[in-house]
Amino acid sequence: MKSVLMSVKGEYAFGRLLAERGVHRLVRLSPFDASSRRHTSFAKVEVWPDVAEEIEIEINEKDLEIQRFKASGAGGQHVQKNETAIRIRHIPTGFVVSCQNQRSLTQNMESAMNVLKSQLYELEQRKQNEAISELKGDDVDAGWGSQIRSYVLHPYKMVKDHRTGHETGNPQAVLDGALDDFIGAYLKHKIGEASG
């Protein structure tokens, strides 16, 4: 498998699984090598919370500065005489939209509000993406020198976390999901860093 995306639900899932974020190094006899030579592989693990909720845009009328004006350009006497064009300024963001394409003030107001909503939606989406990027942490290459943990299956058996120094001689158990000791060691290490 080239990549796997999975969802984990449970109490403190994100905080605990942060211990797994980083590059993991596996040393083994490759089953794909006819000469049974030792190979090293790397896998990068990224962890982020599921914050991508549906974005609902609610616009408070108090946040709007609305101006009506006469539309310019072609369109006959009706367009020239009446104030059918609209300009809306969203005070909190400074976004300004205007519309004069429709024949009535109501239609232009509706069109302008739709444009404003789409701009606010894009802004919220950008904020969400930035928040997720910050939570995911720095992007690192899956290669030598950046591994957080090594899993050695040959010539000896050991799993060692390079951040905490925690290790075990039972890599199969760890590969089967026995991560609690490593997660606990990582959390203690982080608490030590924060208090030190």
pLDDT of residue 104: 86
Among the listed residues 24, 52, 21, 19, the one whose alpha carbon sits nearest the alpha carbon of residue 136: 21
pLDDT of residue 168: 97
How far is residue 161's CA from residue 9's CA, in Å, rounded to a whole number?
A: 24
In the chain, what are the domain boundaries?
Answer: 13-52+136-195, 61-134
Sequence-separated (6 or more) residues with CB below 8 Å from residue 113:
59, 88
Low pLDDT (below 50) residues in the chain:
78-79
The DSSP bridge pattern shows strands 38-45 and 64-69 to be unpaired
Instruction: For the chain, give the percent of residues with pLDDT over 90.
Output: 41
pLDDT of residue 183: 96
How far is residue 30's CA from residue 133's CA, in Å, rounded to a whole number?
A: 34
Q: What CATH number was assigned to the domain covering residues 61-134?
A: 3.30.160.20
- Which pTM was predicted? 0.60
| CATH 3.40.50.150 for the 13-52+136-195 domain, yes or no | no
Sequence-separated (6 or more) residues with CB below 8 Å from residue 140:
22, 23, 44, 146
